[in-house]
Structure 1
Amino acid sequence: MSKPVYGKNAVQSRNVEKISSYIWALGIGFIVFLVWTPFQVGLFNGQQIDFEKPIYVSSLLSSLLLLVWIGLYFTKFKLEGQRDLLAVASLLLPATYALSLIGAVSHYMAMNLLFIQSMYVAIFIIALYLLQQKQLNVVIQNAILAIAYFIVGFGLLNWLGSWKFAGGLVGWFSNTVRGGKYLDAVMTDSNGLRLTSIFQYANTYAAFLMAFLFVAVFALVRSKKWYGTLTHSFMLVPIIVSLLLTLSRGGLVMLPVVFILLLLFLKPAQQILWIIHLAISGIAALLVTSPLTTLGTELNTTFTSSAALKAWAYLLVASAVVAVLGWAVQRFASPRLQEKLGSWETRKLTGLWIPLGSIVLVAIVAFLLIGTSVRSILPDNIETRLENINFKQHSVLERITFYKDAMKVVKDYPIIGSGGGGWASLYEHYQNNPYVSRQVHNFFLQYLIEVGIVGFIVFMGFIGYIFYKYIRAYLKRDKDEFNNGFFFYIIALSILVHSLLDFNMSYAFMGILVFIGLAGMGAVMDNKPLRQSWNKAGLRFGYFAVLAIGSVFLLFLSISYIGSSNAALKGKNLVSVSQSYEEIKTPLVEALQSRPFHPESAIYLASLDLTVFKQTQDEQYLAEAYDVLSRALKDEPYNKDLLKQLISYYDLKGQSDLGFNVYRDNADKFNWDIDWYEALISRAQAFAAAANVQKDEAKKQEYLTAGLEAYQHVVDGVEHLKTLPPEQLQGRPFSITPTIALNAGKLQMLSGQAEQAAATLKLGFADNYADIVSSTTLWDTNWYSSLIARAFELAQQSFAQQDEANKIIHLNIGLDAYNQVASDLQGQPLPSSINLNAGKLQYMAGQVQAAAATLKLALSDDYSDAANREAARWYLAALKKSETAQDQTVYDKLIAADPAEAAEIDVIVNTQY
């Protein structure tokens, strides 16, 4: 028999009857919330308007559910047992995130994480008491299983080409469906296609599948109904196939670890049944995975009904066979095993033999699949992934690097942490090499970074206490499958163990599952009574007062943030379709009223103001842009895009020296951003050259020092990257680029280091510039002319080859060289050849107005000269492209010299550079 609904002390039966219908209503609302969240709240540690609103809606819904719980349990709640104390202690979790706001490096992300943590605690408290009622416990377990099975089916629909049908199933309430297709339910990376289902990240989906594979086996073994046995058996093959299709090495490594940990809690007969069911379904899954991989790859390229039917036939037949075998095992083998092994259960340590044997078996299987040719039975992509499982594999080495860098952050933010999203904001400052990972790939380290030692101790104490009390209770009493919480233990353990290697908990739905798992364990844990002094009315009322005030506060804050998010999204969408300044500005201003720190809204509004200033030269727009940016940067000092907008403001304000200061003063925040250092060194060179012309020795030395220090940082970084293990990927490009070499070389020339300048040029330029950078007449006008001409020639070649990256490199080389030689000549006329090629480079770079001005300088009166006609042709094309009035005099002279030039001008104008 199950225990009463409200904990250790029973309440009067009339009270149970009076509120039972309301508790059922709360339970149904709780389940609806669970159905809604998987397709709404995805990865939340980003900075994108499109994905923030579901966080606030989830917070609002969870606050409403908690307020309903408060109303139902206000007169019934008593601090009688340790379980009740858990409900109180859970409030410390969001409190530590609130505390971390004091030193948060990103107020925006810290607030988002506070919303998420508050939602987790609301779900935990509600589930802790709902799950103490057996009937609701069963319903919630079945609902969670149904959701999990739907997610598995949803993923396979996308894998087997039925993405339109899958998108139609959830498109009416999901914000992740675009054009009828769920985004990245099947993702592509260097390993090929990988199944992700709703998570859009294969490794997290693998963690989810691992948890529910074991949950399904548990549900299968405990099921007393034939249809339950068949259902859970049937789902084993789809789950295992899906797990293999994620190509997740972490999932495959952690699967046996969690399996053995779970076996330790089962009776010998149950252990054997688990092994039998997993063996049968595993063999069946392996037999069909290869054809399903091949057919899925084909169907994601070109859908054909025959291929789809064939794939579904493989899957459904294998699942049906396993379902029948699973039913047979439970119907005939299970009773005999229970009878034969029943006497073992009373003997000490008998439950250890099979797990120990399983370790040996797992080791053998692992050796066969990783160290021998047996893995060739698997599809090529899975075989390759298994072959690469070793400690020198790049993902292992990268994770080790993440962990080391994470500890650097902890060292600087030890007590209360850097706030929610701290790693995403700070990693570029602390990273060892230029990887791109806004996640630490270890949930516990990321939690430590965000809330510091204080918050981490609170969290680990909280979950450690629940696990300890649950395990103690589990081992001390007879196991009743519905009341021992093992269903929830499997979920929490599986996800948390896998989160040692990945960022599963950065997906709100996964976090919700873990906290429901913790609540399910807490509902049946060893619940010792508290002292009578704990049950004072003041303590109970104080707890409910804090809970109610916090819930109401979050409710109204969620409503405010939802409004702000709606306005921000509206403004973002209007930017691309509207020409009205006021129409675009209005929602952005509204979004910033309640959240002046919102990065995207601040960036959009500032960019809008700067654009209007360029058109009107009205200083009020500059002033507004500065106010918006400076206010946002107070709370988002590590936001690179905000800093770049501030630099643009200074440039338009005519205070480029202040823009240079932004680059210099924030360089250490982005140690491996080569674009940042390119801009810093280029600006240092330009200012140093200008100071040299003005004979301002102090300023010249200031800029020389800043530029050369930045260059040395790049040189040291390039040398450091050579020390990385050969198996570890470097990450983003980081090298002495041609732009850096050209500007750093000029800085060295200005400081009297001619030999170093020549060596620097050779470091930065590729072979196609070798003859130029090896010249004995570096830095004179003819040298610059040759360099600019070569840059244009190579930019043209790259354009013809549709090589956009190299086109941009050559454009930058030529334009930097032009700016340098123009500065050197101090206003003296440049050779026509330089102006011609520089003007063409400016035109190709989209600087058509500047191109027109430069090309005009290249013109002469001799239209019999082919070079002069070329300059006139490009000059007139630039005027036409910029919609500036035509220079009729030049046009008439050019056409008089060669009537075919009219068509040539149109060719240039119509070429999409």
Structure 2
Amino acid sequence: MPKLVYGKQAVQSRDVEKTSGLVLALVAAFVLFLAWTPFHVGLFNGQLVEFEKPIYMSALLSGLLLLICAGIYYKKFKLDEQRDLVSVAAILLPLTYALSLFVAVSHYMAMNMLFIQSTYVAVFIIAFYLLKQKKLNLVIQISVLTIAYLVVGFGLLNWLGSWKFAGSLVGWFSAVVQNGKYTDAVMTDSNGLRLTSVFQYANTYAAFLMAFLFASLFALVRSRKWYGTLMHGFMLVPFIVSLLLTLSRGGLVLLPVVFILLLLFLKPAQQILWIVQLGIAGIASVVITSPVTTLGIELNTAFSSSAAIKGWGYLLGASAVVAVLGWLVQRFAAPWLQKKLGGAESRKWTGLWIPLGSVVLVGMLAFLLIGTSARNILPANIGTRLENINFKQHSVLERLTFYKDALKVVKDYPILGAGGGGWSSLYEHYQNNPYTSRQVHNFFLQYLIEVGILGFIVFMSFILYIFYKYIRGYMKRDKDDFTNGFFYLIITMSILIHSLLDFNMSYAFMGIMVFLGLAGMSVVMESKPLQLRWNTTWLRLSYFAVLGIGTVFLLYLSLGYISSSNDAYTAKKLVNVSQSYEEIKVPLVKALKERPNHPESAMYLSLLDQKVFNQTQDEQYLNESYIVLTRALEDEPYNKILLSQLVSYYDLKGESDEAYQVYLENADKFIWDIKWYDALISRASSFGQKAYTQKDEAKKQEYFTVVLESYKHVTEGIEYLLTLPPEQLQGREFFITPAIALNAGKIQLLSGQEEASLETLKLGFINGYEDFINSEKPWGMDWYSGVISRSYDLGYQALERAQQAYRLGQTALGDQEDTNKQRYLNTGLDAYNHVNSDLAYLKTLTAKELQGRSLTVAPNVILYAGKIQYISGQLQEATDTLKLGLSEDYTDATNREIARWYLAALKKKQSVQDQVVYDRLIAADPAEAAQIDEIANLQL
């Protein structure tokens, strides 16, 4: 039988090695890197340039550290035993992401994920070699705990109103600090204030707190020094209070699950000590949570030094009491327990009784806190969150929906996956209802989507092998608390279990902690000598060649990406402050030279070119916009912003049929986006009415079919949403907008479905249009006139509400009012298009068929249509429309208003003044000059 080499023996054999200065420098740099990441490398959401640079910096720094590590340990590298193969197998993980690049639906996000995975593997390999030395292992454990304590302290500083001080501590190196404040360290949602610390997301912070609460508890129980016991005991209350302040239901549910699983690894005496220490800290935390919650809410509204001192008094006082009690338990109770239970620990299955009893205890506590009034001892917001823990709760139902939709993606991208960020790109195509979630809320499913079955098998084999071999070794040997790797098991298992319900691993720091933990477990796992001859020179050289070449190549890429990201971010800031085309363009061109598929840079440059074309009518700017967009869309075909920009290009080019095709061909990608279907139906309706006028039966039928089928898609979607469980949130709004009702109803009318057209109007003419539903003469000129003027009034009111909301800092409300404004204005514009289509059709009729109907558009229709175009930003269209309505009679109030808006539109777009109209208007009323200026200065 081959001899087993256990972790303790392996580590101790290396303890005699002298630690060189170069190794110590590597350890110091590695610890600094770990400390840098939580404050700098946040959530990878795949979209914003602000999130990019930290990813590339982490890849660069970890790659450099890996090269140094490889140089130091090159001669010591061997392939003698199973654990040595783990460090080799690790490089397969980024290779699976590199392989998925060939089929990635978003090359940009797939590359970012490749950088992140490379960082994880670099951390794993570096830690794998460093942690083999007991002293270095202990240094890294202490360092990681210290980082965790700093993160918790940072969060509490923000909760208790000291956000300026907290921001000043990290603002010099963190881009997340804006105006002296760490963004969303305390976030607000429908549940109220929630503590997030550096993560800016409460649920992931809860996962972090859970992992390091148990790590701190482990450090407390194992400590043999009084100061270590006091320090780790002191931190238990801040961890628990912070966890409660996150209001994370997932954290509260999974905390006892992970705790009981960890108890299974411990001897009975240790199990009791864990329960006692956690119980003491838990009771103290519950006692102070209510006042700390109240004070935090007050301090985040208005700072008060007395309230802050009071809050810190509660926290520090309770922490000190728990620390002293914890020391007393370890000083007196621990030896007694060890003596009493020492004999029982050798018996089989004795370690199961206390965890089984804990299950009962947890069940009782859950019943008291969820099912009875005992939850009233907690703050109201926490009590409400506990009360809502059930399988019919909306977040549970929504997660189940995400998981079902994720499996649809896997079915279509089974082998190599959809590439990094695949879910973020594809979810709107597969979603069951119109939710917004760029994360699956399950790390393993998201990983499966990104790298497919092949990559998922590689990853799961990697981590399951480490867990299996670690647990086998752990259960067979004497447990040395410093070298048995249990500290790393706690961190890894806690985060991964919580990641079954959330996207913790989308935070680079959390991923780094997991791979650091896997390395710590690998060092001490059960490891048999290899039977085959792996330790050959060519295999060793091959491994280092792959590792070195791959790392150097990624370093080269990361340097280029950092430069590109800097340029993109510079341009993004300039967009808000500069009016110079060349100044903004220069960094954008540089950014796109390195990454022509970079979505934000492509969007900003194409938008910039289109604006300049609007001013100069120079085709070269429009051509550049097209080149930039089409190149980016080659690698980002699901990017809605870029597709919308392409529509704008075609509209400016006068190729409205091509713009329509963009909407039609991509409708299936955004099946629950009502804005997309609103635009598709509007454009198809316009083309359909034109074909109807021209008596082109084939084209008419083609466009009419698109309108009616798209409308059916919307109505069926609305009916389906009614079948969702009442507890499940629908997500984004999905309804028959006034414009959809107007356009679909008109096509139904022209198709001979008069009753259906009236029913459609009833469904969509809401929120200000209700009085048009039962009109005696719908679809007539007077009816359209009323719809157009109402659309202007409603749109202008929404514009004012949006501006007011933005002034008050109510961004969400402002965005919604902006959406409402655009919907109202689109309805008016579509109604005006109907008027022109009807007029064109009437001109094809004979005098007898006309029966005295007018062939001109009423001035008030032109007036309101022009005003709608004006506040929609369509200045050229506005001047053209308003000019059509001008007459020679400046004694007429309507004509004067048309002239007023016409001249204001010319001034707004900086065109040459129409002096004739201006002179006549001023002659009629000199006060008109001031009114023209007032309109021209409107903030649109």
**What's the TM-score once normalised by structure 1's chain length?**
0.96
Deviation at 1:761, TM superposition (A): 1.2
Deviation at 1:74, TM superposition (A): 1.3
Q: Is the 8 A contact 1:241 1:285 kept in 2?
A: yes
Identify the range of structure 1 (808-817 vs 153-162) with the bigger mean alpha-carbon deviation: 808-817
Deviation at 1:540, TM superposition (A): 1.4
1:850 aligns with 2:877: yes
- Partner Cα separation in structure 1 for residue 562 and residue 798 of structure 2: 47
Q: Give 1:141-220 correspondences, 5 Å limit.
A: 141-220=141-220
Equivalent position amino acid for 1:268 in 2: P
Q: Give 1:31-430 correspondences, 5 Å limit.
A: 31-430=31-430
1:825 match = 839
Equivalent position amino acid for 2:740 in 1: I
- Partner Cα separation in structure 2 for residue 743 and residue 202 of structure 1: 44
1:524 match = 524
1:811 match = 825
Change (3 A) 1:796 1:168: closer
Deviation at 1:872, TM superposition (A): 3.6
2:725 match = 725
Q: Is the 8 A contact 1:80 1:532 kept in 2?
A: no
Equivalent position amino acid for 1:439 in 2: Q
Q: Is the 8 A contact 2:207 2:494 kept in 1?
A: yes
Change (3 A) 1:674 1:897: same
Change (3 A) 1:799 1:530: closer
Q: Is the 8 A contact 2:8 2:484 kept in 1?
A: no
Q: Is the 8 A contact 1:495 1:514 kept in 2?
A: yes
- Partner Cα separation in structure 1 for residue 378 and residue 622 of structure 2: 62
Equivalent position amino acid for 1:524 in 2: V
- Partner Cα separation in structure 2 for residue 199 and residue 12 of structure 1: 37
Deviations 1:522-545 (A, max 9, x none): 110001111251112111111111
Change (3 A) 1:821 1:422: same
1:515 match = 515
Q: Is the 8 A contact 2:765 2:772 kept in 1?
A: no
- Partner Cα separation in structure 2 for residue 655 and residue 849 of structure 1: 16
Q: Is the 8 A contact 1:8 1:81 kept in 2?
A: no
- Partner Cα separation in structure 2 for residue 12 and residue 501 of structure 1: 40
Change (3 A) 1:360 1:8: closer
1:465 match = 465
Change (3 A) 1:280 1:400: same
Equivalent position amino acid for 1:502 in 2: D
Of residues 885, 901, 906 in structure 2, which corresponds to 1:874?
901
1:705 aligns with 2:705: yes
Q: Is the 8 A contact 1:395 1:728 kept in 2?
A: yes
- The secondary structure found in structure 2 opposite 1:193 is strand
- Partner Cα separation in structure 2 for residue 111 and residue 303 of structure 1: 44
1:500 match = 500
Q: Give 1:722-801 correspondences, 5 Å limit.
A: 722-766=722-766, 768-798=768-798
1:666 match = 666
RMSD, aligned CA: 2.0
- Partner Cα separation in structure 2 for residue 522 and residue 4 of structure 1: 9
Specify every segment of 5 or more residues in structure 1 that has no aligned partner in the other structure, as ranges.
Answer: none
Deviation at 1:830, TM superposition (A): 0.7
Equivalent position amino acid for 2:825 in 1: L
- Partner Cα separation in structure 2 for residue 840 and residue 395 of structure 1: 44
Change (3 A) 1:121 1:648: same
Q: Give 1:580-599 correspondences, 5 Å limit.
A: 580-599=580-599
Deviations 1:150-192 (A, max 9, x none): 0000000000000010011111111111111111000000000
1:860 aligns with 2:887: yes
- Partner Cα separation in structure 2 for residue 649 and residue 798 of structure 1: 27
Deviation at 1:225, TM superposition (A): 0.8
- The secondary structure found in structure 1 opposite 2:197 is coil
Deviation at 1:837, TM superposition (A): 2.2
Change (3 A) 1:351 1:70: same
Deviation at 1:651, TM superposition (A): 1.6
Of residues 839, 850, 865 in structure 2, which corresponds to 1:838?
865
Change (3 A) 1:195 1:555: same
2:684 match = 684
Deviation at 1:655, TM superposition (A): 1.6
- Partner Cα separation in structure 1 for residue 8 and residue 188 of structure 2: 49
- Partner Cα separation in structure 1 for residue 231 and residue 504 of structure 2: 27
Equivalent position amino acid for 1:829 in 2: T
Identify the range of structure 1 (580-589 vs 900-909) with the bigger mean alpha-carbon deviation: 900-909
Identify the range of structure 1 (605-614 vs 409-418) with the bigger mean alpha-carbon deviation: 605-614
Deviation at 1:471, TM superposition (A): 0.5
Change (3 A) 1:789 1:610: closer
Identify the range of structure 1 (65-74 vs 832-841) with the bigger mean alpha-carbon deviation: 832-841
Equivalent position amino acid for 2:886 in 1: L
1:569 match = 569
Q: Is the 8 A contact 1:6 1:132 kept in 2?
A: no
- The secondary structure found in structure 2 opposite 1:187 is strand
2:849 match = none
2:848 match = none
- Partner Cα separation in structure 1 for residue 546 and residue 880 of structure 2: 68
Equivalent position amino acid for 1:615 in 2: Q
- The secondary structure found in structure 2 opposite 1:198 is helix
Deviation at 1:303, TM superposition (A): 0.3
How many aligned positions are there?
A: 909
Q: Is the 8 A contact 1:860 1:868 kept in 2?
A: yes
- Partner Cα separation in structure 2 for residue 26 and residue 705 of structure 1: 67
Q: Is the 8 A contact 1:6 1:129 kept in 2?
A: no
- The secondary structure found in structure 1 opposite 2:567 is helix
- Partner Cα separation in structure 2 for residue 269 and residue 359 of structure 1: 18
Deviations 1:344-395 (A, max 9, x none): 1111111111100000000000000000110011101101100100011000
